[in-house]
Amino acid sequence: MKYAVLDTFKADYRRLAAPEQDLFRKSLRIFAEACDRYAVEPASAWPVALRVKHVENAPGVLEMTWSFSGPDGRATFEWIQIEGQLAVRWRRIGGHDIFGSHSRTRESLLPIRPASRAQLAHDRVAREPGLCRFEPVSRNQ
């Protein structure tokens, strides 16, 4: 699955300690498999271990929990289309404080254009080379 990364996510990721980055990367295996299932059947359930849910007051933005205890680890994302394929746009990563008003920047609050449910149901996600089957694309696509 392809993905895009906002600059806010990149900056947040660089601030994580190496063990936190490792925890996040390990959770991507489970996340990638769940994304593949979602691409085929949008009604499929997310793995309980990821605690994926919608972010309050941010339509189209979801969060996943990649660490429950020391450190608190969360990442926000949204569904987008890249070259006609379902893809993920990573928005923020870190602790619960990524949801605070002080951490919001213009970029992290960009308008969201989610794909329609019909598009999501019919677009099959191609397995691409790269980290956990995710392939980075430029932020501007």
Three-class secondary structure assignment of the chain: CEEEECHHHHHHHHHCCHHHHHHHHHHHHHHHHHHHHHHHCCCCCCCHHHCCEECCCCCCEEEEEEECCCCCEEEEEEEEEECCEEEEEEEEEECHHHHCHHHCCCHHHCCCCCCCHHHHHHCCCCCCCCHHHCEECCCCC
pLDDT of residue 96: 65
* pLDDT greater than 80 at residue 115: no
Query: Could you tell me the pLDDT band of residue 129, with boundaries at 50, 70 and 90?
Result: very low
pLDDT of residue 5: 94
Query: Could you tell me the pLDDT band of residue 67, with boundaries at 50, 70 and 90?
Result: confident
Q: Please give the share of the chain, as a percent, with pLDDT higher than 70.
A: 66
2-136 CATH pick, 3.30.2310.20, 2.40.160.100, 3.40.50.1820, 3.50.50.60: 3.30.2310.20
Reported as a single tens digit per residue, the pLDDT across 17-39 is: 999 999 999 999 999 999 989 98
pLDDT of residue 97: 64
pLDDT of residue 120: 36
Domain positions in the chain: 2-136
